[in-house]
Homo-oligomer: A and B are copies of this chain.
Amino acid sequence: MTIDETLSMTATGTPAAPRSGRLRPLSLREVTLRDGFWQRRQQVNRNTSLAHIEHWIERTGWLANFTVAPESRRGREFSDSEIYKLLEAMAWELGREPDPGLRARYDRIVAVVAAAQLPDGYLNTRFGRAGQPPRWSDLEWGHELYCLGHLIQAAVARARTGHPDDLLVLVARRAADLVCEVFADAGVCGHAEIEPALVELYRVTGERRYLEQARLFVERRGNQVLDDIEFGRSYFQDDVPVRDAEVLRGHAVRAVYLAAGTVDVAVETGDDELLAAVVRQWRAAVSRRTYLTGGIGSRHQDEAFGDDFVLPPDRAYSETCAAVGSVMLAWRLLLAEGDPRYADLIERILFNVIATSPSDDGTRFFYTNTLHQRVLGTEPGADTQVPRAASTLRAPWFEVSCCPTNLARTFAALTAYIATTDDDGVQLHQYTAADVGVTLPGDRRVAFRVDTDYPATGRITVRITESPGTPWTLTLRIPPWATGATLMTSDGGVTEVAPGSARLRRVFTPGELVILDLPLHPRLTVADPRVDAVRGCAAVERGPIVYCAESVDLPAGVALDALRLTPSLTDTPGAVLATCEVTALPDENWPYSGTPSPLPARRSPATAVIPLRPYHSWAGRGPSTMRVWIPIKTLSGTT
């Protein structure tokens, strides 16, 4: 296959385009979001967040780093990558919908970046110039390959959206060539990212040495090739080879980026054992190291996974970028294996972490996503760069500002995660108003429109708009909580469909309707008893949405910590009303005692009906305390 063939295949591309696998991704031109939960967020990202990010990379000097003298460089060692992630977001946006103004902004930044590239392809503002450390002298912390990985991802986005000869693509290829040259025999980066990027560049260009270099990086890591550090080598997954590891561990973003790149390598090289290793680690992490929101990472100290079942709501790290990487990983596994459980996790992460991080107006972000806020946060000023990841209110920018740009590229490419195709039909994974149109093998054109206000209600209407005269299969994901879901077809037939996948294979007629009803009752969820931190608590979920209680919704004089959830939940638009007992809280000199303190409320308990709202909207009404996991009223009536 020549380079040109490859490029034309992916001209209206998508992130992650494997050459084999059970499912094939659709491009940003084959799916279009219409007004709904995700399209609104995608539009805010395009119309506001991109400019917000441009403002901050100017203001912080991170863009100027590409032009100023070395001694004037500002920002952390990975700040180049924020520029690249912004470019990737812009590239996907331009691919979805051209805009001359956006194009000019994109071109201007690309020109700045390109001008900083050295003749041999090296590109990094922090290393290698006068007064700076030498190139590749700090693989543990330097982030040089990490930055180039994001550069390459941006270039891939541009190439896949019809611009294979864009200046950025040339820049990225020269950088990638240098990487292949320098790292042929040894070395990996302390932060995985170059791995998936190189495979994607291989997919775009057909250049096998990029794939081979990615494979080398994946296989090398885990053999103690990096120096030991305070957090231990597990921090950057250099403790155990990826082929042998049993669970995702260490720094959460690094872990999921590496796993995503490993899937890419495994799929392209046909290495089933390697793929199985990632599946095993993913399953272990999902079953023992994942928050109810789908978020990962319970350690602030090293932004890392904790031990199994260490998932404290009040010290949840659940970094936004880890959620982004977790979507990247689950998406690749979905394409490779077709199992809807991957799409289940993607939905959970999208609605409960990705949707939680940004403010409604797209100019403030949570870096970490705690599940329990005990004290009122303070809202940082609009001009304030927050010094670090802190579980306070959403902030405009961070000294380590990886999350806003990571969200930007995710929202810009979100369209790609809605549906997939295979030889026999189309699989609809995520439910949001959209138009889907795809040409199946044999030039069979299939198109349909999805109408829904999900997750507000559970009705998803699929109207077939184009269909060949031959049978094809429409596959609809039935989430695991959707027991009792029904499928109604134009002939009036109603079928109950079990969680998993509902497959409808037939000769569809344009105009025909398929109506999926997912039951969206509020439900109480409890955790595995080994998640000690939430013993005796329940969370409320409704469909894919995790709910929370916020102090701003409480009656005067009722403390968040005094609530005891009962099974009485009432569904209303926008909120689930929960009847709670309100207990008295002890007032002790010492918080440990032989018997529960006598609580006056126990004999004649006060009750209150508390509105619980979607977790992703929390702190949208100013400072508040909040909890997702709420203690349940026990039989004995004790605490």
Residue ranges of A at the interface with B (Cβ–Cβ < 8 Å): 228, 230, 283, 286-288, 290, 292, 299-301, 306-310, 312-315, 341, 372, 374-375, 387-388, 480-481, 523-537, 539, 561, 583, 585-586, 588-597, 629, 631, 634-636, 639
On whether A589 and B341 interact (CB within 8 A), knowing A310-B314, A374-B308, A532-B372, the answer reads: yes
With A528-B591, A635-B636 already in contact, 12 other A-B pairs whose C-beta atoms are closer than 8 Å: A290-B591, A292-B592, A307-B374, A307-B375, A310-B374, A312-B533, A525-B592, A525-B593, A526-B592, A526-B595, A529-B596, A535-B536
Are the CB atoms of A596 and B526 closer together than 8 Å? yes
A286 contacts B634, C-beta separation under 8 Å: no
Residue ID in chain B nearest A288 by CB atoms: B591
* Residues of chain B with a CB closer than 8 A to A590's CB: 286-287, 480
Question: How many whole Å from A331's CB to the nearest CB in chain B?
Answer: 18
Kindly state the separation between the CA atoms of A530 and B588 in the bound complex, as whole angstroms: 12
Nearest 5 interchain pairs by C-beta: A529-B639, A528-B591, A536-B536, A301-B301, A535-B536
Distance in angstroms between the alpha carbons of A629 and B535 in the assembled complex: 12
Chain B residue nearest in CB terms to A303: B301
Residues of B within 8 A of A631 (CB): 529, 532, 535
Q: In the assembly, what is the distance between CA of A596 and CA of B529, in Å? A: 9
Report A542 CB to chain B, min CB distance, Å. Answer: 12
**Is A528 a contact of B307 with CB atoms below 8 Å?**
no
**Inter-subunit contact A286/B589 (CB<8 Å):** yes
Closest CB of chain B to A402's CB: distance in Å? 16
Question: Closest CB-CB distance, A167 to chain B, in whole Å?
Answer: 38
Chain B residues closer than 8 Å to A292, beta-carbon distance: 592
Q: How far is the CA of A597 from the CA of B310 in the complex (A)?
A: 19
What is the CA–CA distance of A573 and B290 in the complex, to the nearest angstrom? 42
What chain B residues lie within 8 Å of A596 (beta carbons)?
Answer: 526, 529
Report whether B314 and A528 are in contact in the complex, using a CB–CB cutoff of 8 Å.
Answer: no
Does the CB pair A528–B588 fall under 8 Å?
yes
CB neighbours (8 Å) of A583 from chain B are: 529
Whole-angstrom CA separation of A301 from B639 in the bound complex:
31
Per the bound structure, the CA–CA distance linking A525 and B292 in Å amounts to: 30
- Give the distance in Å from the alpha carbon of A288 to the alpha carbon of B588 in the complex: 9
A308 (CB) vs chain B CBs: closest residue: B374
The answer to whether A374 and B315 have CB atoms under 8 Å apart is no
Query: Which chain B positions have C-beta within 8 A of A313?
Result: 532
Residues of B within 8 A of A290 (CB): 591
Distance between Cα atoms of A530 and B534 in the complex (Å): 12
Output the least CB separation between A172 and chain B (Å).
Answer: 33
Q: Are B594 and A531 within 8 A (Cβ)?
A: no
Decide if A529 touches B561 in the complex (CB within 8 Å).
yes
Report the Cα distance A287→B589, complex, angstroms. 5
Question: 17 pairs across A/B with beta carbons < 8 Å?
Answer: A290-B591, A300-B300, A308-B374, A308-B375, A309-B591, A312-B312, A313-B532, A480-B590, A525-B594, A526-B595, A526-B596, A527-B592, A528-B588, A528-B597, A529-B586, A532-B533, A634-B634
**A228 with B387: in contact, given A307-B374, A375-B307 (CB under 8 Å)?**
yes
CB distance from A132 to the nearest CB of B (A): 21
Among A306, A537, A592, max chain B CB count under 10 A is at A592
- Knowing A230-B387, A374-B307, A635-B634, the reply to whether A528 touches B592 (Cβ < 8 A) is yes
Contact partners of A593 in chain B: CB under 8 A: 525-526
Residue of B at shortest CB range from A564?
Answer: B529
* Inter-subunit contact A531/B635 (CB<8 Å): no
Report whether B536 and A533 are in contact in the complex, using a CB–CB cutoff of 8 Å: no
Q: How far is the CB of A638 from chain B (nearest CB, A)?
A: 8
> Complex Cα distance A586/B312, Å?
19
The interface centre, meaning the residue of A288, A585, A597, A634 with most chain B CB atoms within 10 A of its CB, is: A634
> Do A532 and B287 touch (CB < 8 A)?
no
Q: Which residues of B contact A301 (CB under 8 A)?
A: 300-301
Taken together as a complex, chains A and B put the C-alpha atoms of A313 and B527 apart, in Å, by 18
Return A228 CB to nearest CB of chain B, in Å.
7
Asked if A589 and B529 make an inter-chain contact with CB atoms under 8 angstroms apart, the answer reads no
A341 to B309, CA, bound (A): 36
Give the distance to chain B from A106, nearest Cβ to Cβ, in Å. 34
In this complex, what residue of B is CB-closest to A639?
B529
B residues less than 8 Å from A523 (CB atoms)? 594
Cα-based distance from A308 to B536 in the complex (angstroms): 20
- Give the residues in chain B near A388, CB-CB below 8 Å: 230
Q: Are B524 and A309 in contact (CB under 8 A)?
A: no
Q: Given the complex of chains A and B, what is the CA–CA distance between A333 and B370 in angstroms?
A: 37
Minimum Cβ distance to chain B for residue A554 (Å): 16
CA–CA, A577 to B314, complex, Å? Answer: 34
A539 → chain B, closest Cβ, in Å?
A: 8
- Chain B nearest CB from A229 CB (Å) reads 8
Bound: A283/B590 CA distance, A: 9
Whether the Cβ atoms of B283 and A589 lie closer than 8 Å is yes
Q: Nearest B residue to A523 by beta-carbon distance?
A: B594
C-alpha spacing A361/B374, complex, angstroms: 42
Bound-complex Cα distance A480 to B523 (A): 44
Q: Which residues of B contact A529 (CB under 8 A)?
A: 561, 583, 585-586, 596, 631, 639
Measured CA separation A129–B50 after assembly (Å): 50
Nearest-CB residue, chain B, relative to A307: B374
